[in-house]
Amino acid sequence: NAGVMQNPRHLVRRRGQEARLRCSPMKGHSHVYWYRQLPEEGLKFMVYLQKENIIDESGMPKERFSAEFPKEGPSILRIQQVVRGDSAAYFCASSPPNQLSSGANVLTFGAGSRLTVL
Amino acid sequence: ILNVEQSPQSLHVQEGDSTNFTCSFPSSNFYALHWYRWETAKSPEALFVMTLNGDEKKKGRISATLNTKEGYSYLYIKGSQPEDSATYLCAFTGSARQLTFGSGTQLTVLP
C-alpha cells in the first residue's frame, strides 16, 4: 500500500520557467492538501482539494500558482513564471473521506518536492 | 490569520530525561488539534488527533493533553531516547477544516 507519492523530488528551474509538481494520494484517500515550507519557516497551508474540486485555496498566492486534482491522475501544483522566492519544499498530504468533516482526519504526507529557482 | 504558537523553538535534553512542549492556538472555532513528528529527511508523521476538551492521548512514552477553553496542548515525552530527536509539530483545525501548523519544537536528545 504505497504512501503519498510526490514527484519530482527535486526540481531546478530558471526564473520565468514553469514548475509542475505532482502528488498521488494514498489509495482510498480523496482529499489532497498542499503545503509549502520556505527556508527557516514552518509548513504553510496552500490549498485543499477533493477530486475535481478546490475546497479551500486561501493559502495560494493570487498570481502564478494553481492547483488541480482531476478525476483521473495525480494532483498537480503548477507555478508559472517562477521567481527565486518560490524556492521551497512543497509537501503534499492526503486524507480519507470523512462523512462528518475533514478537520479531524489524520494527514499522510509525501516526502516533498524541493524546488530551486536559479 | 490563525496563530498557532509552539514553545520552545528548540530543546536539548539528555537521554533518559522527560520533557514537554507547548502548543497554543485560538480557543474559538476549535475543531481539532493534531500533533506530528517530523524527522530530518523524512515526512511528518501523525502522532495524535484530539477533538474534546480534556482529551489525553498516549502512544508509548509520548502523551498529549488538550485544553480547548484556554487554547493550549502539551506534548510529553517520558524517558527521552536519541531516536526521539525530531521536530514536533502541532496543527490546529478550525471551522475552515484545513490544518494550520505551528513552527514546531526541534528536540535533540543527547546520548
pLDDT digit string (tens) for B41-99?
A: 889 999 999 999 999 999 999 999 999 999 999 999 999 999 999 999 999 988 767 88
Beta strands in chain A (DSSP E): 5-7, 10-13, 19-24, 31-37, 43-50, 53-56, 65-68, 75-79, 88-95, 108-109, 113-117
Task: Identify the three-state secondary structure at position A85.
Answer: helix
Res A100 pLDDT > 60: no
Predicted pLDDT at A23: 97
What's the confidence (pLDDT) of residue A101? 53
The arithmetic mean of pLDDT across residues A109-114, rounded, is 96
Residue position matching grid coordinates 509520548: B62
Q: What is the pLDDT averaged over residues A76-101?
A: 88
Those residues of chain B whose CB sits closer than 8 Å to some CB in chain A are: 31-32, 34, 36, 42-46, 49, 51, 89, 93-94, 96-104
Residues of chain A with C-beta less than 8 angstroms from the C-beta of B92: none
For the stretch A35-52, pLDDT in tens is 999 877 889 999 999 999
CA distance A81 to chain B (A): 27
How confident is the model at residue B27, as a pLDDT? Answer: 85
- Mutation for testing the A interface, residue in B6, B49, B98 having most A CBs under 10 Å: B98
Q: What is the pLDDT of residue A98?
A: 67
Question: How many Å lie between the alpha carbon of B94 and the closest alpha carbon of chain A?
Answer: 7
Q: How many CA atoms lie within 13 A of B17 on its CB side?
A: 14
Average of per-residue pLDDT across A90-108: 77
Mean pLDDT, residues A5-26: 97
Residue in this structure with the C-alpha cell 514527484, named with its chain if needed: A7
Lowest mean pLDDT among A50-54, A76-80, A114-118: A50-54
Distance (Å) from the alpha carbon of A101 to chain B's nearest alpha carbon: 8
Contact B89/B35 with Cβ under 8 angstroms? yes
Q: Nearest Cα to A15, choosing from A60, A59, A64?
A: A64
- The model's pLDDT over B15-37, given as tens digits with 9 standing for 90+, comes to 999 999 999 999 888 899 999 99
CB contact under 8 A, A107 and B102: no
- pLDDT of A103: 58
Supply the pLDDT for residue A99.
43
Specify the pLDDT at position A40: 77
Query: According to the model, what pLDDT value does residue B62 have?
Result: 97
